[in-house]
């Protein structure tokens, strides 16, 4: 049997990813003390911190800045969510979780390695470093 050579159909990449409406869904970054890696759903106020002292359950919204396909590579970029400023004690949390609010799906998490607590007046800034994801 001969070996086949794989060549992707570049026109299919964007429609496949847009099946979850990457470019038009609502996205948020939430703070939590529990890993979301194995979760299949994310529920505001249950899976993240409760509303209070400068944090709103569900996290802060992120605007879609790019959701495009070029030559078979789909790139998805979000604007950074607003800064959280504590008006009392907030936390602890160890993870920032990006989730698709429209579908309730956790997409990625950032692990800070240990719990973080904020005191009154403290600020926490989450920053995306580059694209949220690139699929080819």
Q: Facing residues of 100 across strands?
A: 27, 105
Is residue 3 situated within a structural domain?
no
Strand partners, 32: 95
* Residue 25 resides in a domain: yes
Q: What percent of the chain lies above the pLDDT cut of 70?
A: 83
Query: Is 5 within a domain?
Result: no
The backbone region for 67, taken as left when phi is positive above 0, alpha when psi lies in -120 to 50, beta otherwise, is beta
Q: With the C-alpha atoms ordered 125, 43, 113, 117, is the resulting torsion angle positive or negative? A: positive
In a domain, residue 4? The reply is no
For position 73, what pLDDT does the model report? Answer: 84
The pTM of this model reads 0.83
Q: What is the 3-state secondary structure (H, E, C) of the chain?
A: CCCCCCCCCHHHHHHHHHCCCCCCCCEEEEEECCCCCCCCCCCCCCCCCCCECCECCCCEEECEEEEEEECCEEEEEECCCCCEECCCCEEEEEEEEEEECCCCEEEEEEEEEEEEEECCCCEECCCCCCCCEEEC
Residue 32 lies in a domain: yes
Mean pLDDT by 10 residues, the chain (136 residues): 51 62 88 88 93 97 89 86 95 91 86 93 88 70
Strand partners, 71: none
Is the residue at 2 inside a domain?
no
In a domain, 46, yes or no: yes
80 is in which domain, residue-wise?
A: 10-135
Q: How far is Cα 63 from Cα 69, in angstroms, rounded to an integer?
A: 18
What's the order of all strands across the beta sheet hosting 90-100?
60-62, 27-32, 90-100, 105-118
Number of domains comprising the chain: 1
- Cα–Cα dist 134/136, whole Å: 7
């Amino acid at each position: 049997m001969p070996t086949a050579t794989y060549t992707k159909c570049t026109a299919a990449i964007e429609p496949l990813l847009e099946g979850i409406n990457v470019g038009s869904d609502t996205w948020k970054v939430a703070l939590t003390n529990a890993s979301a890696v194995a979760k299949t759903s994310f529920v505001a106020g249950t899976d993240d911190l409760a509303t209070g002292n400068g944090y709103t359950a569900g996290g802060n919204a992120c605007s879609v800045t790019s959701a495009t396909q070029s030559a078979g590579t789909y790139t998805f970029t979000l604007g950074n969510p607003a800064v959280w400023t504590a008006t009392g004690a907030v936390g602890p949390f160890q993870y920032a979780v990006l989730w698709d609010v429209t579908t309730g799906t956790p997409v990625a998490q950032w692990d800070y390695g240990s719990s973080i607590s904020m005191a009154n007046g403290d600020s926490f800034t989450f920053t995306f470093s580059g694209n949220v994801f690139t699929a080819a």
